[in-house]
Structure 1
Amino acid sequence: MPHLGMSDAAAHSNRFEGSASAHGVVQARDVHGGVHLHQHVPDTPAIVPHQLLGGTRHFVNRSRELSSLGRLVADARSTPAVLPLAVITGTAGVGKTSLALHWAHTIRPHYPGGELYANLRGYAVDSPVAPEKVLGRFLEDLGVPAALVPVERERRESMFRSLLADRRMLIILDNAMDSGQVRPLLPGSAACLTVVTSRDDLSGLVAQQGALRVRLETFPAADAITLLRTATADYRGRDRRADLAELAGLCARLPLALRIAAERAASWPSMPLSELIDDLRDESALWNVLTADEKGGPEAMRSVFEWSYRALPAPAARLFRILGLHPGNEFGLPAVAGMAGVEPSEARARLDTLVSAH
């Protein structure tokens, strides 16, 4: 909180010291000399938070992405003035959070100051979490009493960065909506590592903060089959590789869909895998089959894609619906412009939005 006090020269006459918010009022009978206002970061106990969620069981491959992330840590040691920042992007259900947590657990020993984790809910049924709310929670987690947490976001940012200045911490910002939601939560110290996951490309963080962007793609066929086999190994006999390959293809080789399908197969160990495959071939039933939560929560494939769609601007959402009418898997810019009834430049802009949102 700001600290107000008289200059030493006026100490013989009277002296006032105290704390107040930026909007506080100070009254005194006589004030001689200067009144000084400066930022004061309260003394806090040495709290070391450990907020990482548990990693995913049966984590498969991602060796190329893990190698890229590992180089970021190595580069940070050789360039101590650069803030290490990684953004993991990709479509819904592709395993961004799983990768971030898996990697975070492997590098925890390098960050003795602890770990902070926040789900920013950029793509969820609720509204995205405001940065100032996350900052308030982080400050309290670092030992700042709730009564001393500033009201203004800018001052929360300042206090947060001051507290992290001499600490080596790992910060995970999961499920971000956009770059603007992330920037206020970035530390100022190059000793801290921040990992962000998002369905958006977060081009602003790459361009302005120099973030390393790691794009996650769907699994190669071999990795998808490995995930299905390892996730069901304790419950079923050895399913035919051809059936596993077809099941993986019907799940679009998305890790979340594969895990849901594996859970269904494991729940019915005597059911031939061909029956589950037949269910997934029926497009009218596909979304219900790929649901692990009967309430349609984050474990339901329908929900995760619906939340992505709802986040699109109206023009891009309309183009997405129109593209669903196209009979093939590939299309050119002139065809898109003609289908949407817009100029090619506008069609390109809308396509860029869809690509960025994966």
Structure 2
Amino acid sequence: MEVGILGQFVITMAGRPVEIASRKQRLLLAILLTADGTPVHAGTLTDALWGELPPVSAAANLRQHLYRLRSALGGDRIVRLGGTGVRMRLDDVSVDARRFTELATAGEDALTAGRPDTARDLLGEALGLWRGVPFAELAAEPALTAEVTALTERHLLTLQRRIDADLALGRHSDVVPELTRLVTAHPYQEAFYAQQMLALHRCGRTADALAVLARARRILAGELGLEPGHELRALERSILRQDESLRLPRTAGGKPPGRRRPEPLGKPAELPASVADFTGRTAETALLDTYSGELAVAVVGPAGVGKSALAVHWGHTAADRFPDGQLFVALHGFSTTGPAEPIDALARLLRALGMPADQIPSDVDEAAARYRSMLAGRRMLVVLDDARSASQVRMLLPGRPGSLAVITSRRRLSGLLAHHAVRRIALGPLPTGTAVGLLRRMLTPARIDAEPDASAALVRACGCLPLALRMAAANLTDQPGRSITDYVAELRPGYRLVGLSDVEDEFTLRLMFDSSYAILDATTQLVFRRLSLVAGPDFTAETAAAVAGVPLDDASAGLARLADAHLVVARAPGRYTFHDLVGEYAALRHGSGTREGAGP
């Protein structure tokens, strides 16, 4: 479960937002989250929800609110402790506020250790998680005041430390405009005045630096009746006597550190060869053109629909948009050997960007920070192929637009859309006319024109899936004397996955479906298999519950997971169906032959 606190209050499970419309239930959840796994007394929760004058029914109402929260989040997520307290299990909960604190702490440690470049990256990543007042509309609730205040103070401290890192790196001219805004927004934060004075002094604007202190003195004395603190007064004296300690420290080469420039590297061109006879996808290609200035695009869809082919084909055609090169990483999200770990993918990317292997950090956060730094100022295309989850690719995204990540996945990757500036393009089967056009290009126009009805039937048998069409065309190419009509007869229901296998890689389509099926939990696998028993054109959660013999909630959750994995298709609100070939695969998994012939 992923929870967003910083500037919004959003809960996501299995890539899907969890709707908790009741303000009281949202407040309960916020309190349990801030307790960080420790029990909260029922009386504390009652006071938070109803204040000093709770209704007579408060205890019963509290139990009802907790019940609804458990229903939304899972029955074992919120634990009652003997009727006197409640706690929330957080062992598999990812909270952006916790991640913010971890990154901020790591950045502060790096700054203390004399590594301002690493510190800036880590602190900048932490600040990137911040999107406004914590808990959004709940921020004013008395029960959350302490947590909101603590997070806000930590945000200001992290901002100060990141500017300290900038100053240590010689970026004084860059931070002057930012500090001008900060001293206006936070007129009582003396640290920002001190940083502004130092930055201006290093820019050669000593008079302006001293004017900052005069302005701070007027504000502090006029509104609070206080004189500036010791740090500001000491800095004023150092500026007036042109103290050498205010200059940038010298490096081993005798020069002050300046803005880090990307290290020289050759122009990588790692994209695989584009698929032969690429056909169609005009609208999707236009969308990729439109999104080329964004941070990342996720191309999602079922196995065999042509996600990787689109990403690679577009990458070759759009090469001039990314003059610094193209990177490609196979993430093996659905491989039988398991998905690539983020640290391994980062090492692969850092080597491609020119970093010696012995200098690649072993810590995933530090490696990700170095990766983002090496992309900064460049325009590169990064294709992250076959991602299994949002968590697998989150560390592999560029830090800001300029370079573009194109991610392909069989999953929807809703977590990326919820927490990052990621666009999504959903691929479905090809339109019938385009599918026939692909066959014309892979076979010959004369062969297709000689059997137009059989060609249309072949397209239908392939479900308009590009991979199935390519396999069919390859098989027919290997048998030039065989008619399309004869081949289509072989692709009768129940046997299409065999007839559409590749000569050199038996049951290719089935193996791809196997890998999508294998990562499902046992209940969802059961629902998937039993749905092959449904004779009608579509099914609902109630249908799934009935044929699978599971509770309605489990059936609903199973359908949601199947839709996320593109193993079922939502054809209307609450109604789902199979792609023909996937439905046939479900029937084979169930051991019942064809969908149409399955018994109850």
Interval containing the TM-score (normalised by the shorter chain): 0.7 to 0.9
Of 114, 122, 135, the match for 2:346: 135
The question of 1:303 aligning with 2:303 is answered: no
Structure 2 letter corresponding to 1:65: E
CA shift for structure 1 position 282: 5.6
Of 441, 447, 451, the match for 1:240: 451
Aligned counterpart, 2:356:
145
Cα distance between partner residues in 1 of 2:445 and 2:523: 48
Cα distance between partner residues in 2 of 1:42 and 1:64: 38
Distance change in 2, residues 1:225/1:267 (3 Å): same
Of 50, 53, 65, the match for 2:284: 65
Cα distance between partner residues in 2 of 1:225 and 1:237: 8
Aligned counterpart, 1:104:
315
Aligned counterpart, 2:399:
188
Cα distance between partner residues in 2 of 1:293 and 1:269: 15
Aligned counterpart, 1:292:
502
Cα distance between partner residues in 1 of 2:415 and 2:549: 30
Cα distance between partner residues in 2 of 1:137 and 1:119: 10
Distance change in 2, residues 1:323/1:197 (3 Å): same
Aligned counterpart, 1:222:
433
Distance change in 2, residues 1:293/1:208 (3 Å): farther
Cα distance between partner residues in 2 of 1:42 and 1:63: 38
Aligned counterpart, 1:264:
475
Contact 2:475/2:503 (8 A) holds in 1 = no
CA shift for structure 1 position 63: 1.4
Contact 1:315/1:350 (8 A) holds in 2 = yes
CA shift for structure 1 position 342: 3.0
Distance change in 2, residues 1:42/1:237 (3 Å): closer
Structure 2 letter corresponding to 1:214: I
Alignment of 1:160-179 (within 5 A): 160-179=371-390
* Deviation digits for residues 295-326 of structure 1 (CA, Å, limit 9, x no counterpart): 448xx111111111112122211100110111
Cα distance between partner residues in 1 of 2:475 and 2:503: 12
Structure 2 letter corresponding to 1:222: G
Q: Between the two structures, name the one with larger relative contact order (CA 8 Å, sep ≥ 6).
A: 1
Contact 2:262/2:374 (8 A) holds in 1 = no
Structure 2 letter corresponding to 1:71: T
1:173 is paired with a residue whose SS is strand
Cα distance between partner residues in 2 of 1:355 and 1:164: 34
Aligned counterpart, 1:329:
537
Structure 2 letter corresponding to 1:90: G
The question of 1:56 aligning with 2:308 is answered: no
Structure 1 letter corresponding to 2:478: S
Distance change in 2, residues 1:343/1:232 (3 Å): same
* Deviation digits for residues 268-290 of structure 1 (CA, Å, limit 9, x no counterpart): 11111112111111624x32321
Cα distance between partner residues in 2 of 1:185 and 1:353: 24
How big is the alpha-carbon RMSD for the aligned residues of Structure 1 and Structure 2? 2.1
Cα distance between partner residues in 2 of 1:164 and 1:43: 8
Cα distance between partner residues in 2 of 1:235 and 1:146: 54
2:265 is paired with a residue whose SS is coil
The question of 1:339 aligning with 2:417 is answered: no
Distance change in 2, residues 1:72/1:295 (3 Å): closer
Cα distance between partner residues in 1 of 2:261 and 2:363: 16
Aligned counterpart, 1:356:
564
> 1 or 2, which has the higher helix percentage?
2
Aligned counterpart, 1:124:
335
Contact 1:56/1:102 (8 A) holds in 2 = yes
Structure 2 letter corresponding to 1:47: G
Structure 2 letter corresponding to 1:338: A
Structure 1 letter corresponding to 2:543: A
Q: Can you give the 5+ residue segments of structure 2 that lack an aligned partner in the other structure?
A: 1-105, 107-111, 119-259, 567-600
1:281 is paired with a residue whose SS is coil
1:71 is paired with a residue whose SS is helix
Aligned counterpart, 2:114:
36
Q: How many residues align?
A: 315
Contact 1:235/1:269 (8 A) holds in 2 = no
CA shift for structure 1 position 56: 1.4
Contact 1:236/1:270 (8 A) holds in 2 = no
Cα distance between partner residues in 1 of 2:442 and 2:461: 17
Distance change in 2, residues 1:233/1:343 (3 Å): same
Larger CA Rg, structure 1 vs 2:
2
CA shift for structure 1 position 333: 2.5
Contact 2:295/2:397 (8 A) holds in 1 = no
Contact 1:100/1:195 (8 A) holds in 2 = yes
CA shift for structure 1 position 190: 1.2
CA shift for structure 1 position 86: 0.6
CA shift for structure 1 position 236: 4.4
Contact 2:471/2:500 (8 A) holds in 1 = yes
Normalised TM-score (structure 2): 0.50
1:98 is paired with a residue whose SS is helix
Contact 2:324/2:378 (8 A) holds in 1 = yes
CA shift for structure 1 position 125: 2.4
CA shift for structure 1 position 35: 6.7
The question of 1:91 aligning with 2:305 is answered: no
Of 198, 207, 212, the match for 2:423: 212
Distance change in 2, residues 1:265/1:200 (3 Å): same
Aligned counterpart, 2:125:
none
Contact 2:329/2:348 (8 A) holds in 1 = no
Aligned counterpart, 2:525:
317
Contact 1:239/1:273 (8 A) holds in 2 = no
Contact 2:533/2:547 (8 A) holds in 1 = no
Distance change in 2, residues 1:116/1:235 (3 Å): farther
Aligned counterpart, 2:54:
none
